[in-house]
């Protein structure tokens, strides 16, 4: 991704910086801190490619990725003790605006922060009335609630946690959440195993389940509450496969290799869903940490 270019400043908030570390670089720093391969290694090059891959597939992402259930936003209000209506929310790594749209519908005063040009362009197309600035979690406007939907794992917590503490108002909250496949559903578990075999060199199962407080904040500065919310959606098989294909591992896979996988996956899923409608079941993992009130 290129260096962030700010939109017009939002009233009452500082403009996004004209230069900022891209999410791939912050993820690289986090990986180094956790003992992962050094910057410049093949593994880190692959990670950077995955971080950049969404911009070329923003429309596919917006059209096929699942959104979030109302119960998630009910939980945010319950755990923070405050309504979303009228709340000042900064949605970081907003992507195409799937979470931002739900927050906006609940009456929140939302500012979206997104580093990627392609994702930000798709955001503006689908949510023209919501402000979005180019930037990342290292330089944020003041907020009462910071949200990271499917995006915290692209940050460096050593930078993002102190920045969150700087910009959150007393009693404010940092909310992180992820949609994850419900692996206790047999067909989903079988599909996940096929994906794991396809990417045998990657530990995808660990990536999808690393949602504890230590992962969120290795410094232990914030106390996180964990909430898990199950929900489902019923979609045509083509939507399900396009959703799967919008994940970074497939966006960076060799085209012919990915096509062969999806042809085989279609065959497997038609045996389970002969009418071509797939019942996707998700567990949303929500981590919420609040700042002191004084």
State pLDDT tens for residues 212-244: 777 888 888 888 999 999 999 999 999 999 999
pTM (global) more than 0.85: no
**Mean pLDDT to the nearest integer, 35-46:** 56
Average of per-residue pLDDT values in the chain: 82
Residue 52: its pLDDT value, please?
Answer: 56
Residue 26: its pLDDT value, please?
Answer: 35
Q: Are 107 and 85 in contact (CB under 8 A)?
A: yes
**Nearest Cα residue to 23 out of 151, 147, 203:** 151
**Nearest Cα residue to 284 out of 124, 74, 131, 25:** 74
Report the sign of the C-alpha dihedral through residues 117, 177, 66, 203, in that order: positive
* Helix (H/G/I), strand (E/B), else coil: 33: helix
pLDDT at 35 over 80: no
CA angle 108, 172, 229 (to 5 degrees): 65
User: What is the DSSP track for 116-166?
Assistant: -HHHHHHHHHH-TTS-EES--TTS---EEEEEEES-GGGS-HHHHHHHHHH
Burial 128-159 (b: 16+ CB within 10 A, else e): eebbbbbbbbbbbbebbbbbbbbbbbbbbbeb
Quick one: which H or E segment has residue 286? strand 277-290
* Helix (H/G/I), strand (E/B), else coil: 99: helix
- Find residue 88's DSSP bridge partners: 109
Residue 267 tokens read as: 């065959």
- Find residue 133's DSSP bridge partners: 113
- State how far the Cα of 58 lies from the Cα of 152, in Å rounded to an integer: 18
Residue 288: its pLDDT value, please?
Answer: 95
How, if at all, do strands 88-92 and 224-236 pair? Answer: unpaired
pLDDT tens track for 143-157: 899 999 999 988 888
**Nearest Cα residue to 103 out of 78, 136, 76, 132:** 76
- State how far the Cα of 266 lies from the Cα of 237, in Å rounded to an integer: 8
pLDDT tens track for 249-288: 898 888 999 999 999 999 999 999 999 999 999 999 999 9
Q: Tell me the angle at which helices 186-198 and 255-272 cross, rounded to the nearest 10 degrees.
A: 160
**Mean pLDDT to the nearest integer, 186-198:** 95
pLDDT at 6 over 60: no
Reported confidence tier of residue 32, pLDDT bands at 50, 70, 90 = very low
- State how far the Cα of 60 lies from the Cα of 243, in Å rounded to an integer: 8
């Amino acid at each position: 991704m290129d260096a962030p270019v700010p939109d017009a400043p939002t009233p009452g908030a500082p403009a996004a910086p004209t230069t900022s570390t891209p999410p791939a670089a912050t993820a690289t720093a986090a990986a180094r801190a956790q003992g992962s391969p050094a910057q410049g290694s093949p593994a880190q090059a692959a990670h950077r490619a995955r971080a950049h891959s969404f911009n070329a597939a923003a429309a596919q992402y917006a059209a096929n990725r699942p959104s979030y259930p109302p119960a998630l936003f009910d939980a945010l209000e319950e755990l923070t003790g405050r309504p979303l209506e009228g709340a000042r929310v900064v949605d970081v790594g907003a992507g195409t605006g799937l979470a931002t749209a739900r927050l906006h519908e609940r009456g929140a005063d939302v500012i979206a922060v997104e580093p990627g040009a392609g994702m930000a362009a798709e955001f503006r197309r689908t949510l023209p009335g919501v402000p979005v600035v180019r930037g990342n979690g290292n330089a944020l406007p003041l907020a009462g609630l910071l949200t990271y939907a499917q995006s915290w794992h692209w940050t460096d917590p050593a930078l993002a946690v102190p920045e969150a503490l700087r910009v959150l108002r007393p009693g404010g909250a940092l909310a992180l959440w992820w949609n994850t496949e419900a692996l206790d559903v047999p067909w989903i578990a079988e599909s996940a195993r096929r994906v794991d075999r396809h990417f045998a060199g990657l530990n995808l199962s660990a990536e999808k389940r690393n949602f504890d407080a230590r992962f969120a904040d290795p410094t232990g500065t914030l106390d996180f509450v964990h909430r898990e919310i199950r929900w489902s959606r019923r979609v045509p098989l083509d939507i399900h496969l396009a959703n799967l294909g919008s994940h970074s591992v497939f966006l960076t896979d060799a085209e012919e290799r990915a096509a062969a996988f999806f042809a085989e996956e279609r065959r497997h899923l038609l045996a389970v869903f002969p009418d071509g409608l797939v019942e996707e079941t998700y567990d949303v993992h929500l981590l919420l940490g609040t700042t002191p009130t004084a």
